[in-house]
Amino acid sequence: MVAVLELRDVSKRYGDVPALSGCTFQVQPGRLTGFVGPNGAGKTTAMRVILGLITQDAGAVSWRGHPVSAADRRRFGYMPEERGLYPKMRVVDQLVFLGRLSGLPAAAAARQADRWLDALGLGERKASRLDDLSHGNQQRVQLAAALVHAPELLVLDEPFSGLDPLAMDSMSALLTDIARAGAAVLFSSHQLDVVEHLCEDVVVINAGHAVLSGDLGKIRDATADRYLEVTVTGDPDRLLCLTGATVVGHDGDHVRLRVPRTVDPVGLLDRLRGDVVRFSYEPPSLSELFRAAVAGEAAKVSEVSGVAC
């Protein structure tokens, strides 16, 4: 599949502070892309560059193969991390207002506003003022505001923050539907399990550049390590000295090991024959990838500083 959005070597500084340095990644249509990274890694800055809210110092953003234009950006939808709506304005009026600003004629904007409010279960609250709604409902109105003009790219900053489990489920289902309908969806989150569960693609950003990006399944498969989780009856100690394995977790008779991809899991299972209650063999989870990538960056930084010393 061809990427619709591409960032190439994008850099941005705020005064002396680099926010992005050589950030490169792509976003595919019809898929959910999770955008993860530690606080201050540059996620929000990257999103703002995509939306044209700020101009990068260097690098390029392209949309469908050409440099992104203001007209292209009008086909983008954006939901900032907090608020982003008028607290005292009626919900339906806000959506019509933003829909019209995105280029919809008044009647179409009104139709779309109604449609999205109904779809998000806010049909009864159309005439309410925003600050009369609960946090979860305000978040839904924000999402409706990002969707009202049927964007081709949806950029969401922390759409899951502060939502209860049920609201998270409905937000997940909705984002999946939007991607299935053909839109490219890029959203940031600190909830790695949600991203892992929901997204086909991920971008891991650290210190201003993407340290991992692409199809999550392929990234996981391509890693050199595999994780073994074994629960045994009897003495777990012999698990701790399996050749080539590193113990990463040990809790009673339950052990989690990291082994090179080249180690044959069936052979391992053979050596433990008889005592195994549970056994799993899988590539690293997103949170393990994330930690490795971000820690690797930190290690590189410390190496560099070591040389400097």
Partner 1 sequence: MWRAELPEGWRRIWIVALREIRERGGSRAYRISTVLAVLLVVAVILIPSLIRESTTYHVGFTGAVPAGTVAELEIQAGAVGHQLQTSRYAALGQGERALRDKKIDVLLVDGSRLEWRTGSDSTLTAVIANALQAVHIRQQADRLGISVGQLAQLLVPVTLTSRTIGAAHTADKDANTVGFIAVGLLYVAISFYAGFVLTGVVQEKANRVAEVLLARMPAREVLAGKVLGIGAVGLGQFALIAMAAAVTVQLMNHADAPSIPANVLGWTLLWFILGYLFYSVLYAALGATTSRIEDAQSAIAPITGLMLLSYLGVIYAEQNPDAALTVVLSYFPPTAPIVMTYRVAVHAAPSWQVITTALVTAVAIWALMRIAGRIYSGALLRFGGRIPLRDLLRSSS
Q: Which of 40, 103, 182, 296 binds partner 1 (CB under 8 A)?
A: 103
- Cβ proximity to partner 1: between 44 and 206 the closer is 44
Is residue 63 a contact residue for partner 1 (CB under 8 A)? no
Residue 112 binding partner 1, by CB under 8 A: no
Q: How many residues bind partner 1 (CB under 8 A)?
A: 31
Q: Is 101 in the site for partner 1 (CB under 8 A)?
A: yes
Q: Which is nearer to partner 1, 73 or 226 (CB)?
A: 73
The span from the CA of 10 to the CA of 56, in Å, is 6
CA distance readout (Å), 177 to 75, 149, 172, 207, 238: 18, 16, 9, 32, 48
- Could you tell me where the beta strands, DSSP code E, fall in the chain? 5-14, 17-27, 32-36, 58-63, 66-67, 76-79, 153-156, 184-188, 201-206, 209-215, 225-232, 246-251, 254-260, 276-282
Q: Which position among 40, 64, 69, 87 is part of the footprint of partner 1 (CB under 8 A)?
A: 87
| C-alpha closest to that of 89 among 157, 136, 156, 145 | 145
Distance of alpha carbon 178 from alpha carbon 155, whole angstroms = 12
**Counting contacts by CB under 8 A, is residue 276 touching partner 1?**
no
Q: How far is the CB of 88 from partner 1 (least distance, A)?
A: 8
Report, in Å, the least distance between residue 14 CB and partner 1: 8
* β-pair type (209-215, 184-188): unpaired
* Only segment of 60-68, 73-81, 172-180, 263-271 that touches partner 1 (CB under 8 A): 73-81
Contact with partner 1 (CB under 8 A): which of 76, 187, 227, 290? 76
Residue nearer to partner 1 on the CB measure, 35 or 290? 35
The DSSP bridge pattern shows strands 209-215 and 246-251 to be unpaired
Residues that bind partner 1 (CB under 8 A): 14-15, 48, 51-54, 70, 73-74, 76, 78, 80-89, 93, 97-98, 100-103, 105, 145
